[in-house]
């Protein structure tokens, strides 16, 4: 390592793998906060990608430049490395220490481009709050909102919309395109184009209000390459339609809800919240038909829509008509209008404001 031994015991880089006290000792013993290893990696970059917020703060306080590029070709930035890993606290420390939010590293990637493409909504929100441009194009000319729509990350799309992202129509087009695809197949095909034909495995997990699908390629039974996508494309499309003043048909919203994993996930919640606001006869009839379905998921979706259809300013204008419809599939007695299903009232995501 170019900085050599520190304090007669370990280098600054070795101290990063120990603890913050070791970093303090190394700095006090004379190690430069701008130290690089033999490959040109800076100590600050290593601490950033390893998600060591305490060490990052110590290095910044000792004079490390948060905008200094790292690596053999000096193409890597600490802020981008932290954003790529989803290390929100490190991103905050770097921004507080003077990192420029829109500074691009090699190939034109910014920290926000990394966060949008990987679905790191907390990182995206922090970057935007510190002045990152929500419409700054990436290396292929795609703005973050389009990239987030492709990713299927509803929280990231929401953050970009809150901060004034303008590329609504192209992002909607991308979300609708993704709805036509088999995500698992797309991921597998992309991996095989890059690495050749290998056995694969699929993992699914609920993360940030959507199902995340991960496809791994296996060699001797062990994963060696993987890609993943979130599956909130239905909710993303609905949010963007709402922003553009477009009205998707009931059947389309319902299909997005059921396609996206069912109750509790963004595709379902955003569709229900959008339909709650309508309060027209067409939506009432469609929801009533669904609530009488023999399919439990269709029945639940119709019931949730009817529960607060037309909700405005605390009122439930469709409640009296909905009571007998909701009573029938439940086989219950005669509930009062204020005894309509209330579990939906606690689901804030995608719901109308009270």
Q: Give the integer Cα–Cα distance in Å for 97 and 103.
A: 14
- Name the average pLDDT for the chain: 88
Q: What pLDDT was estimated at residue 232? A: 96
2 occurs within a structural domain? no
Query: Which two structure tokens, joined as six digits, stand for 316?
Result: 């439930």
The verdict on 93 and 119 lying in the same domain is yes
The verdict on 222 and 340 lying in the same domain is no
How many domains would you assign to the chain? 3
C-beta separation of 225 from 216 below 8 A? yes
29 occurs within a structural domain? yes
- pLDDT at 329 > cutoff 60: no
Residue 86 DSSP class: T
Residue 343 DSSP class: G
Residue pLDDT, tens place only, 95-135: 999 999 999 998 899 999 999 999 999 999 999 999 999 99
The verdict on 261 and 294 lying in the same domain is yes
Q: What pLDDT was estimated at residue 106? A: 86
Q: Edge-to-edge strand order for the sheet containing 210-219?
A: 200-207, 210-219, 222-230
The verdict on 211 and 291 lying in the same domain is no
Domain final residue, candidates 115, 144, 173: 144
Residue 351 DSSP class: P
Domain of residue 212: give its range: 183-231
b/e burial code for range 51-69 (CB count within 10 A of at least 16 → b): bbbbbbbbbbebebbbeeb
- pLDDT at 48 > cutoff 50: yes
Give the residue among 187, 184, 114 at the shortest CA–CA distance from 156.
114
- pLDDT at 343 > cutoff 90: no
* Measured CA distances, 223 to 163, 212, 213, 348 (Å): 38, 17, 15, 38
pTM of the model: 0.87
């Amino acid at each position: 390592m170019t900085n050599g031994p520190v304090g007669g015991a370990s280098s600054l880089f070795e101290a990063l793998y120990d603890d913050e006290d070791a970093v303090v000792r190394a700095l006090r013993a004379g190690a430069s906060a701008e130290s690089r290893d033999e490959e040109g990696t800076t100590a600050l970059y290593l601490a950033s990608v390893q998600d060591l917020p305490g060490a990052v703060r110590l290095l910044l306080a000792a004079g490390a430049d948060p905008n200094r590029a790292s690596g053999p070709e000096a193409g890597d930035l600490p802020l981008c490395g932290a954003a790529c890993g989803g290390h929100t606290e490190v991103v905050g420390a770097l921004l507080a220490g003077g990192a420029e939010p829109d500074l691009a590293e090699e190939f034109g990637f910014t920290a926000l481009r990394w966060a949008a493409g990987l679905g790191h909504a907390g990182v995206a929100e922090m970057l935007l709050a510190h002045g990152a441009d929500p419409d700054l194009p990436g290396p292929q000319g795609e703005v973050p909102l389009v990239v987030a729509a492709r990713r299927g990350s509803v929280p990231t799309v929401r953050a970009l919309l809150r901060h004034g992202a303008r590329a609504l129509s192209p992002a909607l087009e991308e979300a609708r395109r993704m709805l036509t695809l088999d995500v698992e197949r797309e991921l597998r095909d992309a991996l095989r184009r890059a690495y050749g034909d290998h056995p694969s495995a699929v993992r699914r997990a609920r993360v940030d209000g959507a199902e995340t699908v991960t496809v791994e390629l296996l060699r001797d039974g062990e994963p060696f390459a993987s890609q993943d996508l979130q599956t909130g494309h239905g909710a993303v499309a609905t949010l963007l339609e709402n922003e553009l003043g477009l009205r998707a048909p009931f059947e389309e919203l319902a299909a997005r809800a059921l396609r996206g994993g069912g109750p509790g996930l963004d595709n379902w919640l955003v569709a229900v919240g959008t339909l709650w606001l309508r309060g027209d006869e067409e939506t009432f009839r469609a929801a009533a038909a669904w609530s009488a379905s023999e399919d439990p998921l269709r029945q639940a979706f119709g019931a949730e829509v009817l529960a607060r259809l037309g909700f405005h300013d605390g009122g439930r204008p469709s409640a009296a008509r909905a009571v007998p419809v909701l009573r029938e599939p439940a086989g219950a007695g005669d509930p009062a209008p204020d005894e309509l299903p209330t579990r939906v009232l606690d689901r804030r995501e995608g719901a109308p404001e009270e």
